[in-house]
Amino acid sequence: MSSPNKHTSSRLASTDTLHVVWCFGGIIGSLVLYGVLQERIMQSPFDGEPFTHSLALVLANRLVACAVALSLSLYHGHPLAPQAPLTSFAAVSLSNVAATFCQYEALRHVSFAAQTLGKCAKMLPVMLWGRVMLGKRYAARDAARAAAVTLGCAAFVGANRAGAVSPAAAGLSSAATNHASTPWGLTLMAAYLTVDGFTSTFQARLFALHAPTLPNQVLYVAATSALLALAGLVAKGELRPALAFFAAHPRALGAAALLALAATAGQLFITHAIRRHGALLVAAAMTTRQFLSILLSGLLFGHSFSAQQYAAACVVFGGYACVSDLGGGSEAKGWKGGVNVEGFLS
Ligand SMILES: Nc1ncnc2c1ncn2[C@@H]1O[C@H](COP(=O)(O)OS(=O)(=O)O)[C@@H](OP(=O)(O)O)[C@H]1O
């Protein structure tokens, strides 16, 4: 007969498994919707007039995130004062904005396909930053899982036939192009991956050190990003033209509002997952997103997949399937300022 302790721990493990599935679903769902809406606004003109002020969308996204985070704080009766040093929130915001800048800039110098492929490597910098910033040591089992997900996704995405999926279907920005990759573009992609890994690991560290509530972190990070976006818009003289565009095209305003809601959902799911399960799980979810977007698009639009892609898909799912003990491998929960030996999904 199994002991009550065993029952309790297996119930906890299955609750955590469900929570991981919830976080994966939330991150992937909101970011795919975000990509499609972004594509709609940036690629299709409104009444014949194209919208060109992408920074205005960033501002709108972050303002809506602030409003939602503020409402959540008020609803739950959380204190509104910053629960961590403002410099820490600013560091998250700055590195997040820098990652966004690098990936947009990289698209001018690498193909969309190359960028999608490069994004499959998100887990590697997160593991390196975890070692440097959190003193984490990853067991060989976890490194093997990360390798399976990364290599499986890369093999699947790399084998994708050109044109079989659009940037929108992949949930990515419309700036996608098909030119050859240059060394500068690859440098920008490396910078994007490095800074992106820093952002989420720093967020995990922030949760571990100061334990801010979820809305508190989202509020102050989004507010800093909103200020940065506003400064950029003013400096480029784009604030008035962007507002005039929305006034003249209410459909664009509606699409931007939906986009901001999707972006806010993405921010909340990402930050919540980092807080509960750690940065590596989020990197795994975002890597899987590249793969699932292409898989879903192929299934929806009847594209066939090669034998290599089926094999790669098995490797990815195998990477998850061998996870037998999901238990919330959270940097935030487990980190005590020193060495932390925890699995990314265990
Ligand atoms: N750690 C963390 N915290 C908060 N927000 C984050 C984080 N990582 C990614 N993001 C935001 O998610 C949006 C998609 O990012 P990516 O393009 O890097 O993701 S993906 O790999 O293509 O899925 C993108 O939104 P925008 O900046 O509005 O485009 C990212 O800023």
Q: How confident is the model at residue 308 (pLDDT cuts 50, 70, 90)?
A: confident
In this structure, are residues 68 and 264 in contact, taking their beta carbons and an 8 Å threshold?
yes
Closest C-alpha residue for ligand 1 atom 25: 263
In this structure, are residues 129 and 197 in contact, taking their beta carbons and an 8 Å threshold?
yes
Per residue in 44-59, pLDDT (tens digit) is 889 889 888 888 998 9
Residue 119 Cβ contacting ligand 1 at under 6 Å: yes
In the predicted structure, residue 228 carries a pLDDT above the cut 50: yes
State the pLDDT at residue 244.
96
How large a percentage of the chain has pLDDT more than 90?
45
State the pLDDT at residue 242.
95
Residue 95 Cβ contacting ligand 1 at under 6 Å: no
Q: How confident is the model at residue 16 (pLDDT cuts 50, 70, 90)?
A: confident
Q: What is the mean pLDDT of the chain?
A: 82
What ipTM was estimated for this complex?
Answer: 0.96
Residue 96 Cβ contacting ligand 1 at under 6 Å: yes
The residue written with tokens 């990759």 in the block is: 181
Per residue in 265-279, pLDDT (tens digit) is 999 999 999 999 999
Which candidate, 289, 95, 102, places its Cα nearest to that of 190?
Answer: 102
CA distances from residue 341 to 137, 166, 311, 330 in whole angstroms, order as listed: 5, 40, 31, 11
**Range name among 89-98, 128-137, 269-278, 333-342 with the lowest pLDDT average:** 333-342
Which candidate, 292, 273, 266, places its Cα nearest to that of 100?
Answer: 266
Closest C-alpha residue for ligand 1 atom 19: 286
Closest C-alpha residue for ligand 1 atom 26: 100
State the pLDDT at residue 341.
30
Q: How confident is the model at residue 257 (pLDDT cuts 50, 70, 90)?
A: very high
State the pLDDT at residue 89.
96
Encoding tokens for residue 252? 């664009």
In the predicted structure, residue 43 carries a pLDDT above the cut 70: yes
Indicate which atom in ligand 1 lies nearest the CA of residue 221.
Answer: 4
The residue written with tokens 């390798």 in the block is: 147
Closest C-alpha residue for ligand 1 atom 23: 286
Q: How far is the CA of 38 from the centre of ligand 1 (A)?
A: 13
SS3 330: coil
In the predicted structure, residue 295 carries a pLDDT above the cut 70: yes
In the predicted structure, residue 1 carries a pLDDT above the cut 50: no
Other Cβ atoms less than 10 A from the Cβ of 313: the count is 18
Q: How many angstroms separate the CA atoms of 91 and 87, rounded?
A: 6
Per residue in 137-194, pLDDT (tens digit) is 888 888 888 888 888 888 888 876 544 455 554 444 444 445 677 899 899 999 999 9
Q: How far is the CA of 58 from the centre of ligand 1 (A)?
A: 11
When comparing pLDDT for 256 and 104, which is higher? 256
Q: How far is the CA of 20 from the centre of ligand 1 (A)?
A: 18
Residue 275 Cβ contacting ligand 1 at under 6 Å: no
When comparing pLDDT for 291 and 135, which is higher? 135
Q: How far is the CA of 215 from the centre of ligand 1 (A)?
A: 17
**What's the one-letter identity of residue 177?**
T
When comparing pLDDT for 116 and 170, which is higher? 116
- 300 CB burial (10 A radius; 0-12, 13-18, 19+): exposed
State the pLDDT at residue 146.
86
Q: How confident is the model at residue 6 (pLDDT cuts 50, 70, 90)?
A: low
Spatial CB neighbours of 271, under 8 Å, sequence gap ≥ 6? 203, 214, 217, 218, 221
When comparing pLDDT for 291 and 262, which is higher? 262
Helices first, then strands: H and E counts in the chain: 13, 2
SS3 46: strand
Strand partners, 46: 49
Residue 196 Cβ contacting ligand 1 at under 6 Å: yes
Q: Name the residue ranges covered by the structural domains of the chain.
A: 30-39+52-163+179-344
